[in-house]
Amino acid sequence: MPRLDHVTIETRDAPQMIAFLETVLGVREGYRPPFATPGHWLYLDERPVIHLSLTSRSTDFPPGIFNHVAFSLYEFGPALERIKAGGYRYDYYDIPDTDLGQVFVYGPEGVKIELQYPRRPERASGHSM
């Protein structure tokens, strides 16, 4: 059965992108095979789920067919504190007819990451920071 293996992000500034993804998702850089082109592999749960490829483009990501990538999250409070401490812009919403919330975090070069989490019933819907 097919499953999503990884997402590749082209970045101009690997250290900045790695710092963002470490803060928001808790990824860690790990082994990457010795490809001819430079890049980085970032791991979650022992799997290289985000591949970074270095690019020389001069502008942020253009809007395209892919809008964002989403990850499940179980500890909303600590993640939100890391996002706030990193100074990243975020929006959060409730997913209708579910007990899930979602946070969209905006990072360097136009990258947008969604985090889904079990929400508390008392939290208000639709909020930007």
Q: How confident is the model at residue 124 (pLDDT cuts 50, 70, 90)?
A: very low
Is the pLDDT at 90 greater than 70? The verdict is yes
Is the pLDDT at 64 greater than 50? The verdict is yes
CA nearest neighbour of 115 among 88, 76, 85: 76
How many CB atoms within 10 Å of residue 17? 22
How many CB atoms within 10 Å of residue 113? 22
Are β-strands 100-106 and 39-44 bridged in parallel, bridged antiparallel, or unpaired?
unpaired
Query: Who wins on pLDDT, 113 or 67?
Result: 113
- On whether the CB atoms of residues 69 and 63 are closer than 8 A, the answer is no
Tell me the pTM.
0.80
Name the DSSP letter for residue 95.
P
- Residues paired with residue 117 on neighbouring β-strands, in sequence order: 101
